[in-house]
Structure 1
Protein backbone atom coordinates (compact mmCIF):
# COMPACT_ATOMS: atom_id res chain seq x y z
CA UNK A 1 0.00 0.00 0.00
CA UNK A 2 1.52 3.28 -1.10
CA UNK A 3 1.57 6.82 0.20
CA UNK A 4 0.01 6.17 3.60
CA UNK A 5 0.20 9.22 5.81
CA UNK A 6 -1.30 8.45 9.21
CA UNK A 7 -1.83 5.31 11.24
CA UNK A 8 -2.70 5.56 14.92
CA UNK A 9 -2.23 1.76 15.06
CA UNK A 10 -5.36 0.94 16.99
CA UNK A 11 -6.99 -2.42 16.43
CA UNK A 12 -9.77 -2.39 13.85
CA UNK A 13 -13.45 -2.42 14.83
CA UNK A 14 -16.41 -2.98 12.53
CA UNK A 15 -20.03 -2.21 13.22
CA UNK A 16 -23.44 -1.27 11.91
CA UNK A 17 -25.59 1.85 11.76
CA UNK A 18 -29.17 0.54 11.69
CA UNK A 19 -32.19 2.78 11.13
CA UNK A 20 -34.34 2.46 14.29
CA UNK A 21 -37.67 2.25 12.46
CA UNK A 22 -40.83 1.64 14.47
CA UNK A 23 -42.36 -0.46 11.67
CA UNK A 24 -41.74 -3.32 11.31
CA UNK A 25 -41.52 -3.12 15.07
CA UNK A 26 -38.72 -5.70 15.53
CA UNK A 27 -36.77 -4.91 12.35
CA UNK A 28 -33.90 -3.05 14.02
CA UNK A 29 -33.65 -5.63 16.79
CA UNK A 30 -33.55 -8.52 14.33
CA UNK A 31 -30.78 -6.87 12.31
CA UNK A 32 -28.80 -6.28 15.50
CA UNK A 33 -29.13 -9.97 16.27
CA UNK A 34 -27.77 -10.77 12.80
CA UNK A 35 -24.80 -8.49 13.48
CA UNK A 36 -24.19 -10.28 16.77
CA UNK A 37 -24.38 -13.68 15.09
CA UNK A 38 -21.94 -12.85 12.28
CA UNK A 39 -19.32 -11.47 14.67
CA UNK A 40 -19.40 -7.71 14.16
CA UNK A 41 -18.06 -5.62 17.03
CA UNK A 42 -20.68 -2.91 17.38
CA UNK A 43 -24.27 -2.01 16.57
CA UNK A 44 -25.38 1.64 16.68
CA UNK A 45 -28.56 3.68 16.24
CA UNK A 46 -29.24 7.34 15.53
CA UNK A 47 -31.08 9.30 18.21
CA UNK A 48 -33.92 11.61 17.19
CA UNK A 49 -36.48 11.65 20.04
CA UNK A 50 -38.71 14.04 18.08
CA UNK A 51 -39.07 11.55 15.19
CA UNK A 52 -42.19 9.40 15.75
CA UNK A 53 -41.28 6.94 12.99
CA UNK A 54 -38.21 5.87 15.03
CA UNK A 55 -38.02 3.90 18.24
CA UNK A 56 -36.75 5.76 21.28
CA UNK A 57 -33.05 5.05 20.99
CA UNK A 58 -32.34 4.43 24.66
CA UNK A 59 -35.17 1.93 24.92
CA UNK A 60 -33.96 0.23 21.75
CA UNK A 61 -30.36 0.03 22.99
CA UNK A 62 -31.55 -1.63 26.18
CA UNK A 63 -33.75 -4.12 24.33
CA UNK A 64 -31.00 -4.97 21.85
CA UNK A 65 -28.46 -5.48 24.63
CA UNK A 66 -30.88 -7.90 26.32
CA UNK A 67 -31.37 -9.87 23.10
CA UNK A 68 -27.73 -10.20 22.05
CA UNK A 69 -24.76 -11.96 23.57
CA UNK A 70 -21.47 -10.32 22.66
CA UNK A 71 -21.90 -7.26 20.43
CA UNK A 72 -21.43 -3.78 21.86
CA UNK A 73 -24.21 -1.18 21.57
CA UNK A 74 -24.07 2.60 21.20
CA UNK A 75 -26.01 5.64 20.12
CA UNK A 76 -24.70 7.21 16.95
CA UNK A 77 -25.01 9.72 18.45
CA UNK A 78 -27.18 10.34 21.52
CA UNK A 79 -28.97 13.69 21.51
CA UNK A 80 -27.56 15.48 24.55
CA UNK A 81 -29.99 18.46 24.52
CA UNK A 82 -32.87 16.04 25.17
CA UNK A 83 -31.02 13.72 27.57
CA UNK A 84 -30.09 15.21 30.94
CA UNK A 85 -26.42 14.36 31.59
CA UNK A 86 -26.62 13.25 35.23
CA UNK A 87 -29.44 10.83 34.38
CA UNK A 88 -27.59 9.75 31.25
CA UNK A 89 -24.49 8.95 33.29
CA UNK A 90 -26.41 6.69 35.66
CA UNK A 91 -28.39 5.11 32.81
CA UNK A 92 -25.18 4.34 30.92
CA UNK A 93 -23.59 2.71 33.96
CA UNK A 94 -26.67 0.57 34.58
CA UNK A 95 -26.89 -0.59 30.97
CA UNK A 96 -23.19 -1.39 30.95
CA UNK A 97 -23.56 -3.44 34.13
CA UNK A 98 -26.65 -5.28 32.90
CA UNK A 99 -25.07 -6.06 29.52
CA UNK A 100 -21.77 -7.29 30.92
CA UNK A 101 -19.75 -4.29 29.77
CA UNK A 102 -21.18 -3.89 26.26
CA UNK A 103 -22.31 -0.26 26.23
CA UNK A 104 -20.40 2.66 24.69
CA UNK A 105 -21.50 6.30 24.82
CA UNK A 106 -21.70 7.93 21.41
CA UNK A 107 -22.91 11.48 22.04
CA UNK A 108 -23.50 14.69 20.11
CA UNK A 109 -23.91 18.37 20.93
CA UNK A 110 -27.24 18.57 19.12
CA UNK A 111 -28.76 19.69 15.83
CA UNK A 112 -32.27 20.13 14.41
CA UNK A 113 -32.90 22.85 16.98
CA UNK A 114 -36.49 23.56 15.95
CA UNK A 115 -37.40 19.95 16.73
CA UNK A 116 -35.35 19.94 19.94
CA UNK A 117 -37.07 23.11 21.13
CA UNK A 118 -40.43 21.64 20.17
CA UNK A 119 -39.72 18.70 22.50
CA UNK A 120 -38.91 21.04 25.38
CA UNK A 121 -35.16 21.32 24.91
CA UNK A 122 -33.14 24.53 24.99
CA UNK A 123 -32.13 26.16 21.73
CA UNK A 124 -28.37 26.74 21.77
CA UNK A 125 -25.94 28.33 19.35
CA UNK A 126 -23.22 26.01 18.00
CA UNK A 127 -20.70 27.47 20.43
CA UNK A 128 -23.06 27.10 23.37
CA UNK A 129 -23.82 23.52 22.38
CA UNK A 130 -20.13 22.63 22.49
CA UNK A 131 -19.79 24.24 25.92
CA UNK A 132 -22.82 22.28 27.15
CA UNK A 133 -21.32 19.03 25.83
CA UNK A 134 -18.06 19.74 27.65
CA UNK A 135 -19.92 20.23 30.94
CA UNK A 136 -22.06 17.14 30.37
CA UNK A 137 -19.02 14.92 29.84
CA UNK A 138 -17.52 16.24 33.09
CA UNK A 139 -20.70 15.30 34.95
CA UNK A 140 -20.93 11.84 33.37
CA UNK A 141 -17.32 10.97 34.13
CA UNK A 142 -17.67 12.18 37.72
CA UNK A 143 -20.76 10.00 38.24
CA UNK A 144 -18.86 6.96 36.93
CA UNK A 145 -15.95 7.70 39.32
CA UNK A 146 -17.66 5.85 42.17
CA UNK A 147 -14.52 5.47 44.27
CA UNK A 148 -13.67 9.17 44.44
CA UNK A 149 -14.46 10.88 47.76
CA UNK A 150 -17.31 13.35 48.08
CA UNK A 151 -20.24 14.02 45.82
CA UNK A 152 -20.36 15.26 42.25
CA UNK A 153 -20.23 19.02 41.93
CA UNK A 154 -20.18 20.75 38.56
CA UNK A 155 -21.23 24.39 38.56
CA UNK A 156 -21.45 24.97 34.84
CA UNK A 157 -23.09 27.56 32.66
CA UNK A 158 -25.49 25.01 31.17
CA UNK A 159 -25.61 22.21 33.75
CA UNK A 160 -25.31 22.33 37.53
CA UNK A 161 -24.89 19.27 39.74
CA UNK A 162 -24.73 20.01 43.45
CA UNK A 163 -23.25 17.23 45.50
CA UNK A 164 -25.14 14.18 44.19
CA UNK A 165 -23.79 10.77 45.13
CA UNK A 166 -21.44 9.03 42.74
CA UNK A 167 -22.03 5.74 41.01
CA UNK A 168 -22.77 3.15 40.06
CA UNK A 169 -19.42 2.38 38.43
CA UNK A 170 -19.83 0.84 34.98
CA UNK A 171 -18.74 -2.74 34.30
CA UNK A 172 -15.93 -1.51 32.05
CA UNK A 173 -14.35 1.80 31.06
CA UNK A 174 -17.11 3.12 28.81
CA UNK A 175 -15.83 4.96 25.76
CA UNK A 176 -17.19 8.45 25.12
CA UNK A 177 -17.31 9.00 21.37
CA UNK A 178 -18.26 12.41 19.98
CA UNK A 179 -19.92 13.17 16.66
CA UNK A 180 -17.94 16.23 15.53
CA UNK A 181 -17.12 18.22 12.39
CA UNK A 182 -16.12 21.79 13.28
CA UNK A 183 -12.78 22.90 14.77
CA UNK A 184 -14.00 23.76 18.28
CA UNK A 185 -15.80 20.47 18.91
CA UNK A 186 -12.98 18.54 17.24
CA UNK A 187 -10.52 20.11 19.69
CA UNK A 188 -12.91 19.17 22.52
CA UNK A 189 -12.89 15.60 21.21
CA UNK A 190 -9.12 15.54 21.42
CA UNK A 191 -9.19 17.04 24.90
CA UNK A 192 -11.84 14.91 26.65
CA UNK A 193 -13.18 12.07 24.48
CA UNK A 194 -12.15 8.49 23.78
CA UNK A 195 -13.36 8.45 20.19
CA UNK A 196 -14.59 10.42 17.21
CA UNK A 197 -17.71 9.49 15.17
CA UNK A 198 -18.04 11.40 11.86
CA UNK A 199 -20.09 10.31 8.84
CA UNK A 200 -18.37 10.04 5.46
CA UNK A 201 -21.46 11.25 3.58
CA UNK A 202 -21.35 14.55 5.50
CA UNK A 203 -17.82 15.38 4.30
CA UNK A 204 -18.00 17.59 1.17
CA UNK A 205 -14.48 16.64 0.11
CA UNK A 206 -14.84 12.96 0.94
CA UNK A 207 -12.16 11.16 2.96
CA UNK A 208 -9.60 13.89 2.22
CA UNK A 209 -11.46 16.15 4.68
CA UNK A 210 -10.44 13.79 7.48
CA UNK A 211 -6.84 14.95 7.31
CA UNK A 212 -7.52 18.49 8.53
CA UNK A 213 -10.17 17.33 11.01
CA UNK A 214 -7.68 14.91 12.56
CA UNK A 215 -5.27 17.79 13.05
CA UNK A 216 -7.77 19.62 15.26
CA UNK A 217 -8.30 16.47 17.35
CA UNK A 218 -4.56 15.92 17.67
CA UNK A 219 -4.10 19.58 18.63
CA UNK A 220 -6.69 19.32 21.39
CA UNK A 221 -5.12 16.13 22.67
CA UNK A 222 -1.59 17.51 22.68
CA UNK A 223 -2.60 20.70 24.49
CA UNK A 224 -4.17 18.52 27.20
CA UNK A 225 -1.16 16.25 27.53
CA UNK A 226 -2.90 13.31 25.88
CA UNK A 227 -1.52 10.92 23.30
CA UNK A 228 -3.46 11.57 20.07
CA UNK A 229 -3.23 7.87 19.20
CA UNK A 230 -5.35 7.03 22.25
CA UNK A 231 -8.42 8.53 20.54
CA UNK A 232 -10.31 6.05 18.38
CA UNK A 233 -11.26 7.40 14.93
CA UNK A 234 -14.51 5.88 13.67
CA UNK A 235 -16.17 6.49 10.32
CA UNK A 236 -19.82 5.94 9.46
CA UNK A 237 -19.85 4.61 5.90
CA UNK A 238 -22.34 3.63 3.21
CA UNK A 239 -22.07 2.22 -0.28
CA UNK A 240 -23.07 -0.51 -2.71
CA UNK A 241 -21.80 -3.97 -3.49
CA UNK A 242 -21.52 -4.35 -7.27
CA UNK A 243 -19.52 -6.51 -9.65
CA UNK A 244 -17.71 -3.65 -11.36
CA UNK A 245 -15.98 -1.02 -9.26
CA UNK A 246 -17.20 2.48 -9.99
CA UNK A 247 -16.08 4.67 -7.09
CA UNK A 248 -15.28 4.65 -3.38
CA UNK A 249 -17.27 1.90 -1.62
CA UNK A 250 -19.11 1.09 -4.84
CA UNK A 251 -17.80 -2.23 -6.08
CA UNK A 252 -16.87 -5.73 -5.01
CA UNK A 253 -16.12 -6.68 -1.40
CA UNK A 254 -12.45 -6.81 -2.39
CA UNK A 255 -12.60 -3.21 -3.60
CA UNK A 256 -14.34 -2.19 -0.37
CA UNK A 257 -11.51 -3.80 1.58
CA UNK A 258 -8.89 -1.90 -0.42
CA UNK A 259 -10.79 1.36 0.05
CA UNK A 260 -11.09 0.95 3.83
CA UNK A 261 -7.50 -0.17 4.26
CA UNK A 262 -6.36 2.92 2.36
CA UNK A 263 -8.48 5.18 4.58
CA UNK A 264 -6.95 3.50 7.62
CA UNK A 265 -3.42 4.34 6.54
CA UNK A 266 -4.04 7.73 4.98
CA UNK A 267 -6.33 9.16 7.64
CA UNK A 268 -5.98 7.03 10.76
CA UNK A 269 -9.53 5.71 10.89
CA UNK A 270 -9.78 2.36 12.69
CA UNK A 271 -13.50 1.84 13.24
CA UNK A 272 -15.90 1.40 10.32
CA UNK A 273 -19.66 1.50 10.91
CA UNK A 274 -21.75 0.51 7.92
CA UNK A 275 -25.22 1.96 7.37
CA UNK A 276 -27.21 -1.14 6.41
CA UNK A 277 -30.80 -2.20 6.89
CA UNK A 278 -30.88 -5.67 5.35
CA UNK A 279 -29.46 -8.97 6.55
CA UNK A 280 -27.79 -9.91 3.25
CA UNK A 281 -25.63 -6.76 3.19
CA UNK A 282 -24.69 -7.25 6.83
CA UNK A 283 -23.67 -10.86 6.23
CA UNK A 284 -21.62 -9.97 3.14
CA UNK A 285 -19.84 -7.14 4.94
CA UNK A 286 -18.96 -9.38 7.88
CA UNK A 287 -17.95 -12.41 5.81
CA UNK A 288 -15.93 -10.80 3.03
CA UNK A 289 -15.04 -7.18 3.73
CA UNK A 290 -14.10 -7.30 7.42
CA UNK A 291 -11.54 -10.14 7.25
CA UNK A 292 -10.02 -8.72 4.06
CA UNK A 293 -9.51 -5.29 5.63
CA UNK A 294 -7.93 -6.86 8.70
CA UNK A 295 -5.58 -8.90 6.50
CA UNK A 296 -4.49 -5.89 4.44
CA UNK A 297 -3.91 -3.71 7.50
CA UNK A 298 -2.05 -6.41 9.41
CA UNK A 299 0.20 -7.10 6.42
CA UNK A 300 1.03 -3.44 5.91
CA UNK A 301 1.74 -2.86 9.58
CA UNK A 302 4.02 -5.89 9.68
CA UNK A 303 6.22 -4.25 7.03
CA UNK A 304 6.48 -0.85 8.72
Structure 2
Protein backbone atom coordinates (compact mmCIF):
# COMPACT_ATOMS: atom_id res chain seq x y z
CA UNK A 1 0.00 0.00 0.00
CA UNK A 2 1.44 3.33 -1.07
CA UNK A 3 -0.11 6.79 -1.28
CA UNK A 4 1.85 7.84 -4.34
CA UNK A 5 4.13 10.35 -2.63
CA UNK A 6 7.81 10.65 -3.50
CA UNK A 7 10.17 8.85 -1.13
CA UNK A 8 12.39 11.21 0.90
CA UNK A 9 15.08 10.96 3.56
CA UNK A 10 16.04 13.23 6.43
CA UNK A 11 18.24 13.38 9.50
CA UNK A 12 17.07 13.83 13.11
CA UNK A 13 19.63 16.37 14.36
CA UNK A 14 20.09 16.70 18.12
CA UNK A 15 20.35 20.40 19.11
CA UNK A 16 23.32 19.84 21.41
CA UNK A 17 24.28 23.11 23.13
CA UNK A 18 27.61 21.66 24.32
CA UNK A 19 29.03 21.26 20.80
CA UNK A 20 27.57 23.75 18.37
CA UNK A 21 30.43 23.21 15.92
CA UNK A 22 29.45 19.55 15.56
CA UNK A 23 25.77 20.44 15.18
CA UNK A 24 26.61 22.74 12.29
CA UNK A 25 28.98 20.17 10.75
CA UNK A 26 26.27 17.50 10.67
CA UNK A 27 23.77 19.88 9.09
CA UNK A 28 26.28 20.80 6.40
CA UNK A 29 27.10 17.12 5.77
CA UNK A 30 23.37 16.51 5.22
CA UNK A 31 23.17 19.49 2.88
CA UNK A 32 26.13 18.37 0.76
CA UNK A 33 25.25 14.67 0.79
CA UNK A 34 21.73 15.15 -0.56
CA UNK A 35 19.43 14.65 2.40
CA UNK A 36 16.00 16.12 1.76
CA UNK A 37 15.23 17.23 5.32
CA UNK A 38 16.65 17.97 8.74
CA UNK A 39 14.27 17.63 11.70
CA UNK A 40 15.07 19.16 15.10
CA UNK A 41 13.24 18.29 18.31
CA UNK A 42 11.80 21.15 20.36
CA UNK A 43 12.26 20.93 24.13
CA UNK A 44 12.75 24.49 25.43
CA UNK A 45 12.92 23.27 29.05
CA UNK A 46 15.91 21.02 28.28
CA UNK A 47 18.97 22.97 29.44
CA UNK A 48 21.47 21.01 27.34
CA UNK A 49 19.62 21.80 24.08
CA UNK A 50 19.83 24.88 21.92
CA UNK A 51 16.60 26.73 21.24
CA UNK A 52 15.09 25.04 18.21
CA UNK A 53 13.88 28.14 16.36
CA UNK A 54 17.16 29.95 16.85
CA UNK A 55 19.00 26.89 15.58
CA UNK A 56 16.73 26.53 12.55
CA UNK A 57 17.41 30.15 11.62
CA UNK A 58 21.15 29.67 12.03
CA UNK A 59 21.20 26.49 9.95
CA UNK A 60 19.09 28.06 7.21
CA UNK A 61 21.89 30.58 6.72
CA UNK A 62 24.59 27.88 6.70
CA UNK A 63 22.96 25.46 4.25
CA UNK A 64 21.75 25.76 0.68
CA UNK A 65 19.48 22.88 -0.35
CA UNK A 66 18.22 20.84 2.59
CA UNK A 67 14.78 21.65 4.00
CA UNK A 68 14.40 22.22 7.74
CA UNK A 69 11.60 21.69 10.24
CA UNK A 70 10.92 21.51 13.99
CA UNK A 71 10.26 17.85 14.80
CA UNK A 72 7.91 18.84 16.45
CA UNK A 73 7.12 22.24 18.02
CA UNK A 74 6.09 22.21 21.67
CA UNK A 75 2.92 24.19 21.09
CA UNK A 76 2.14 25.17 24.71
CA UNK A 77 5.39 27.16 24.75
CA UNK A 78 5.06 28.57 21.22
CA UNK A 79 1.98 30.81 20.78
CA UNK A 80 0.63 29.98 17.33
CA UNK A 81 0.21 33.54 16.06
CA UNK A 82 3.86 34.40 16.66
CA UNK A 83 4.93 30.91 15.57
CA UNK A 84 3.15 31.42 12.24
CA UNK A 85 5.04 34.66 11.63
CA UNK A 86 8.37 33.12 12.65
CA UNK A 87 7.89 30.13 10.35
CA UNK A 88 6.76 32.24 7.40
CA UNK A 89 9.62 34.70 7.91
CA UNK A 90 12.20 31.92 7.95
CA UNK A 91 10.62 30.34 4.89
CA UNK A 92 10.92 33.61 3.00
CA UNK A 93 14.52 34.12 4.12
CA UNK A 94 15.56 30.55 3.25
CA UNK A 95 13.97 30.46 -0.19
CA UNK A 96 11.10 28.16 0.77
CA UNK A 97 12.99 25.53 2.79
CA UNK A 98 10.94 25.44 6.01
CA UNK A 99 8.13 23.11 7.04
CA UNK A 100 6.25 23.19 10.35
CA UNK A 101 5.91 20.19 12.64
CA UNK A 102 3.44 20.67 15.52
CA UNK A 103 2.88 18.74 18.72
CA UNK A 104 0.16 19.12 21.33
CA UNK A 105 2.70 19.14 24.16
CA UNK A 106 4.50 16.67 26.39
CA UNK A 107 6.68 16.74 29.51
CA UNK A 108 4.21 18.97 31.27
CA UNK A 109 6.41 19.49 34.34
CA UNK A 110 9.02 21.07 32.09
CA UNK A 111 6.41 23.22 30.37
CA UNK A 112 5.08 24.37 33.74
CA UNK A 113 8.62 25.18 34.90
CA UNK A 114 8.92 27.71 32.08
CA UNK A 115 5.59 29.30 32.91
CA UNK A 116 3.59 27.45 30.29
CA UNK A 117 0.09 26.03 30.76
CA UNK A 118 -0.73 22.56 32.03
CA UNK A 119 -3.41 20.98 29.86
CA UNK A 120 -5.39 17.80 30.05
CA UNK A 121 -5.08 15.48 27.05
CA UNK A 122 -8.42 16.71 25.73
CA UNK A 123 -7.45 20.35 26.16
CA UNK A 124 -4.12 19.77 24.42
CA UNK A 125 -5.83 18.24 21.40
CA UNK A 126 -8.40 21.04 21.16
CA UNK A 127 -5.67 23.68 21.48
CA UNK A 128 -3.68 22.05 18.69
CA UNK A 129 -6.67 22.08 16.35
CA UNK A 130 -7.24 25.77 17.08
CA UNK A 131 -3.55 26.47 16.48
CA UNK A 132 -3.73 24.94 13.00
CA UNK A 133 -6.56 27.32 12.09
CA UNK A 134 -4.75 30.33 13.58
CA UNK A 135 -1.52 29.54 11.73
CA UNK A 136 -3.25 29.11 8.40
CA UNK A 137 -5.12 32.37 8.85
CA UNK A 138 -1.85 34.16 9.52
CA UNK A 139 -0.31 32.66 6.37
CA UNK A 140 -3.25 33.85 4.27
CA UNK A 141 -2.04 37.37 3.53
CA UNK A 142 -5.37 38.78 4.69
CA UNK A 143 -5.79 41.88 6.84
CA UNK A 144 -8.04 42.22 9.87
CA UNK A 145 -8.10 38.48 10.60
CA UNK A 146 -10.33 37.36 13.46
CA UNK A 147 -10.61 34.05 15.29
CA UNK A 148 -12.40 33.26 18.53
CA UNK A 149 -11.33 30.00 20.13
CA UNK A 150 -11.23 28.41 23.53
CA UNK A 151 -7.46 28.83 23.78
CA UNK A 152 -6.43 31.29 21.05
CA UNK A 153 -7.92 34.48 19.65
CA UNK A 154 -7.15 36.85 16.79
CA UNK A 155 -8.63 40.33 17.06
CA UNK A 156 -8.16 42.03 13.71
CA UNK A 157 -4.62 40.78 13.09
CA UNK A 158 -2.83 41.70 9.86
CA UNK A 159 -1.29 38.52 8.48
CA UNK A 160 2.08 38.28 6.80
CA UNK A 161 4.55 37.62 5.48
CA UNK A 162 3.09 34.88 3.32
CA UNK A 163 5.36 31.80 3.20
CA UNK A 164 7.55 31.48 0.13
CA UNK A 165 6.06 28.09 -0.70
CA UNK A 166 3.03 26.01 0.27
CA UNK A 167 4.37 25.24 3.72
CA UNK A 168 3.26 21.98 5.27
CA UNK A 169 1.86 21.49 8.77
CA UNK A 170 2.93 18.05 10.00
CA UNK A 171 1.54 16.66 13.24
CA UNK A 172 3.34 14.51 15.78
CA UNK A 173 0.21 12.44 16.47
CA UNK A 174 -0.24 9.17 18.36
CA UNK A 175 -3.72 8.96 19.93
CA UNK A 176 -6.98 8.35 18.04
CA UNK A 177 -8.22 11.96 18.18
CA UNK A 178 -4.88 13.33 17.02
CA UNK A 179 -4.69 10.81 14.18
CA UNK A 180 -8.20 11.74 13.07
CA UNK A 181 -7.21 15.41 13.16
CA UNK A 182 -4.17 14.64 11.04
CA UNK A 183 -6.42 13.17 8.37
CA UNK A 184 -8.88 16.06 8.54
CA UNK A 185 -6.56 19.04 8.75
CA UNK A 186 -2.84 18.32 8.43
CA UNK A 187 -0.44 18.06 5.50
CA UNK A 188 1.67 15.36 7.13
CA UNK A 189 2.09 12.89 9.98
CA UNK A 190 5.40 12.53 11.81
CA UNK A 191 5.49 9.80 14.51
CA UNK A 192 8.67 8.36 16.04
CA UNK A 193 9.66 4.71 16.16
CA UNK A 194 10.33 5.09 19.90
CA UNK A 195 6.61 5.66 20.51
CA UNK A 196 5.02 4.15 17.39
CA UNK A 197 6.85 0.92 16.51
CA UNK A 198 6.46 -0.46 12.99
CA UNK A 199 3.79 -2.98 14.00
CA UNK A 200 1.54 -0.15 15.25
CA UNK A 201 1.65 1.91 12.07
CA UNK A 202 -1.05 0.21 9.93
CA UNK A 203 -3.82 0.80 12.46
CA UNK A 204 -2.66 4.38 12.94
CA UNK A 205 -2.62 4.93 9.18
CA UNK A 206 -6.20 3.65 9.00
CA UNK A 207 -7.34 6.26 11.55
CA UNK A 208 -5.69 9.01 9.51
CA UNK A 209 -7.39 7.78 6.36
CA UNK A 210 -10.75 7.74 8.16
CA UNK A 211 -10.22 11.35 9.19
CA UNK A 212 -9.34 12.29 5.63
CA UNK A 213 -12.52 10.62 4.35
CA UNK A 214 -14.61 12.54 6.90
CA UNK A 215 -13.20 15.79 5.55
CA UNK A 216 -13.59 14.79 1.91
CA UNK A 217 -9.83 14.62 1.40
CA UNK A 218 -7.72 12.11 -0.45
CA UNK A 219 -5.42 10.11 1.86
CA UNK A 220 -2.56 10.93 -0.51
CA UNK A 221 -2.82 14.58 0.61
CA UNK A 222 -1.14 13.61 3.89
CA UNK A 223 2.59 12.88 3.81
CA UNK A 224 3.65 10.03 6.08
CA UNK A 225 7.00 10.78 7.76
CA UNK A 226 8.68 8.47 10.27
CA UNK A 227 11.37 9.35 12.79
CA UNK A 228 13.47 6.18 12.78
CA UNK A 229 15.93 5.69 15.64
CA UNK A 230 18.68 3.15 15.05
CA UNK A 231 22.18 2.46 13.78
CA UNK A 232 23.86 0.78 10.84
CA UNK A 233 25.73 -2.25 12.18
CA UNK A 234 27.64 -5.22 10.85
CA UNK A 235 25.45 -8.08 12.08
CA UNK A 236 21.75 -8.79 11.48
CA UNK A 237 19.51 -8.05 14.44
CA UNK A 238 15.98 -8.90 15.51
CA UNK A 239 15.63 -5.27 16.62
CA UNK A 240 14.27 -2.95 13.94
CA UNK A 241 16.66 -0.41 12.42
CA UNK A 242 19.72 -2.00 14.02
CA UNK A 243 21.70 -4.01 11.54
CA UNK A 244 23.60 -4.02 8.24
CA UNK A 245 22.71 -2.01 5.17
CA UNK A 246 20.70 -4.86 3.61
CA UNK A 247 18.51 -5.11 6.71
CA UNK A 248 17.87 -1.37 6.66
CA UNK A 249 16.96 -1.52 2.97
CA UNK A 250 14.50 -4.37 3.53
CA UNK A 251 12.85 -2.72 6.54
CA UNK A 252 12.44 0.71 4.95
CA UNK A 253 11.26 -0.78 1.66
CA UNK A 254 8.59 -2.73 3.54
CA UNK A 255 7.46 0.40 5.40
CA UNK A 256 7.22 2.32 2.13
CA UNK A 257 5.49 -0.30 -0.02
CA UNK A 258 3.37 -2.17 2.51
CA UNK A 259 2.69 0.42 5.24
CA UNK A 260 2.64 3.63 3.22
CA UNK A 261 5.39 5.68 4.86
CA UNK A 262 7.03 8.03 2.36
CA UNK A 263 9.68 9.91 4.35
CA UNK A 264 12.23 8.59 6.82
CA UNK A 265 13.94 10.94 9.31
CA UNK A 266 16.90 8.96 10.58
CA UNK A 267 18.21 9.25 14.14
CA UNK A 268 21.72 7.77 14.25
CA UNK A 269 24.22 7.26 17.09
CA UNK A 270 25.70 10.30 18.77
CA UNK A 271 28.20 11.13 17.38
CA UNK A 272 27.26 9.39 14.12
CA UNK A 273 30.79 8.91 12.76
CA UNK A 274 30.42 8.06 9.08
CA UNK A 275 26.84 6.78 9.45
CA UNK A 276 25.37 9.98 8.00
CA UNK A 277 27.30 9.45 4.80
CA UNK A 278 26.76 5.68 4.75
CA UNK A 279 23.00 5.94 5.08
CA UNK A 280 22.50 8.41 2.24
CA UNK A 281 25.06 6.66 0.00
CA UNK A 282 24.26 2.99 0.67
CA UNK A 283 20.72 2.72 2.08
CA UNK A 284 18.71 5.55 0.54
CA UNK A 285 19.44 4.81 -3.17
CA UNK A 286 18.50 1.15 -2.82
CA UNK A 287 15.24 2.01 -1.07
CA UNK A 288 14.42 4.56 -3.79
CA UNK A 289 15.09 1.93 -6.46
CA UNK A 290 12.87 -0.61 -4.68
CA UNK A 291 10.01 1.86 -4.33
CA UNK A 292 10.24 3.40 -7.82
CA UNK A 293 7.53 2.35 -10.27
CA UNK A 294 8.76 -0.45 -12.55
CA UNK A 295 6.64 0.29 -15.60
CA UNK A 296 3.37 1.65 -17.02
TM-score bracket, shorter-length normalisation:
over 0.9
> What is the CA-CA distance between 1:26 and the residue it aligns to?
2.3
In structure 2, the partner of 1:292 is 286
1:129 aligns with 2:124: yes
**Alpha-carbon separation, structure 1, partners of 2:101 and 2:283:** 24
Note the 1:1-304 alignment, pairs <5 A.
Answer: 6-146=1-141, 148=142, 150-203=143-196, 206-247=197-238, 248-276=240-268, 277=270, 278-298=272-292, 301-302=293-294
Higher RCO (CA-CA < 8 Å; seq separation 6+): 1
Asked whether the equivalents of residues 39 and 71 of structure 1 are also in contact (C-alpha less than 8 Å), the reply is: yes
Structure 1 unmatched runs, 5+: 1-5
**Alpha-carbon separation, structure 1, partners of 2:190 and 2:63:** 23
Asked whether the equivalents of residues 254 and 292 of structure 1 are also in contact (C-alpha less than 8 Å), the reply is: no
Q: How many residues are treated as equivalent by the alignment? A: 293
Structure 2 unmatched runs, 5+: none
Bigger shift: 112-121 or 245-254? 245-254
SS at match of 2:20: coil
> What is the CA-CA distance between 1:250 and the residue it aligns to?
2.1
> What is the CA-CA distance between 1:215 and the residue it aligns to?
1.0
TM-score, structure 2 as length reference: 0.96
> What is the CA-CA distance between 1:238 and the residue it aligns to?
1.8
SS at match of 1:26: helix
**Alpha-carbon separation, structure 2, partners of 1:23 and 1:244:** 32
**Alpha-carbon separation, structure 2, partners of 1:156 and 1:67:** 38
Bigger shift: 63-72 or 273-282? 273-282
Describe the superposition over 1:186-230 as per-residue Cα deviations: whole angstroms up to 9, x where unpaired: 101111110000001213xx3121111011111111101111111
**Alpha-carbon separation, structure 1, partners of 2:178 and 2:233:** 37
**Alpha-carbon separation, structure 2, partners of 1:44 and 1:239:** 15
**Alpha-carbon separation, structure 1, partners of 2:21 and 2:72:** 21
SS at match of 1:103: coil
Alignment RMSD: 1.2
TM-score, structure 1 as length reference: 0.94
